[in-house]
Structure 1
Amino acid sequence: MSLLQKGWRPVSVLILLLIIWQVLSRVFAIPEWLLPTPTQIGIEAWQSWPDYRSHLFATIQLSIIGLLIGSSIGLGVAICLHLVPKLRETFYPLLILSQNIPIIVLAPLLVIWFGFGLLPKLIIIILVCFFPITIAGLDGFRQTSGELLHYMKMAGATKRQIFWKLEWPHAMPSIFSGLKIAATYSVMGAVISEWLGAQDGIGVYMTLASSSFRTAQVFVTIFLIMGLSLVFFAGIVFWEKRVIRWKTSGGGNADG
């Protein structure tokens, strides 16, 4: 019920924008090939469902696999850099540099090195997903209460106990923040990877629609990408509320 109470405002704004779009397109008689109306896009989405259905499922599968692998790598890197300070001092600047390489430039090189199979596409999604999770995890570990950390050391807790019973629970909100970002990036990463020369996927469908000047189909793919990103984001929020019950309930038993 709270979700419905909070969600009506953005939904209302979205509906208002679509109405304005529809009215202005009709008033100024904008041709469909230049800017289709929302109703034309909706009709195209309904009629073309058999055409892009397989592309949609292919992108969903690729995004989920890349997100799972990228999240696992991101968490593993964050834990290693946190537990071994010398590794963090050595590799942290390299993490920053890895994000300064444009994906659109790196993509052709991955095709040359690994071919047109699944591997280069997964590498692209992993590259855009692991970084926000790694940075968010490291920040979460550093935000652990110094007083609680001192108390556990005084109580004779081992480094492993301190990590799993104190630092890990306190870092969970930050980690889920990174997961939310990575979840939305995974869809765009999948679409970019499909531009490399895949046989199916939303990126392929968008390329075909754009090359044939089917503007309505291009907008359908745009809305599909936006919708998938929202669904993935909502999925992370769903799991966050169930994993971090101590935070949502207002309690302080992080290690319970």
Structure 2
Amino acid sequence: MGAGMTDETAGQTGGVDLTRPSAARVYDYYLGGAHNFAVDREMAERAIGLWPDLPLIMQQNRAFLRRAVRFCVDAGIRQFLDLGSGIPTVGNVHEVAQDAAPESRVVYVDNDPVAAAYSENILRGNDRAGVVQADLRRPDEVLASPGVRALLDLDEPVAVMMVAVLHFVPDSDDPAAIIAKYREVMAPGSYLVLSHASQDGQPDQADSHQDLYQRTATPMTMRSREQVTGLFDGFEVVEPGVVFFPEWRPVSPEDVDDHPERFTGLAAVGRKA
């Protein structure tokens, strides 16, 4: 795991609340990043103690993201809106997309000030990628932001990424309605890329993990395969459908674990006709 940031760094990012862990920074820690604080590392280590496979699950989620971005590029997509993006460390959307198609444009959106600040630093000098600090639950604000309007043309197809983020949106905020707001402005031929934590596969482990997150600023709502499938209303889900992370278009059959259900996250890509 990465060494992480010192608490003094918080003063450089707008006075971050160091009493509560951030989902974006905990995820960064799982991936071996260094953009996290002691409170995030403590939370992550507690979670790993309950569920030792967690770092592997997060790495599988990141591998799905990379495959999905490449799939979208191969389908002709050249612009990406990554909602709840966290910190775009190695292997994130702009690197994968621009490696395959250098003209690709990417906007990252996250409401965590540390994620936004470090994203700006990482993307400095890349005029085809930007970051917006905003809450994905407010689509009108996100879509009207100067950062989105400057880089993305929503009259053309776009890939909207909601990777490992909607499980932090409670039922009371109606994630399906949030997706619908984005879908309304997506041109035909656009794609929705989504992954989501689920109890499916390892319900006992998942429940304890969900309970742990209830005590943080970002409580988690895991959803079933049926519920995740329902989030694709208005999209045509591409093959192989809603599946466990390793099962979504693996590069080779050897990449699929003998027990893919141990990677309890669900992933899928849908196309707007």
Q: TM-score, normalised by structure 2?
A: 0.26
State the structure with bigger RCO (CA 8 A, min sep 6), 1 or 2: 1
Q: TM-score, normalised by structure 1?
A: 0.27
Higher strand share: 2
Higher helix share: 1
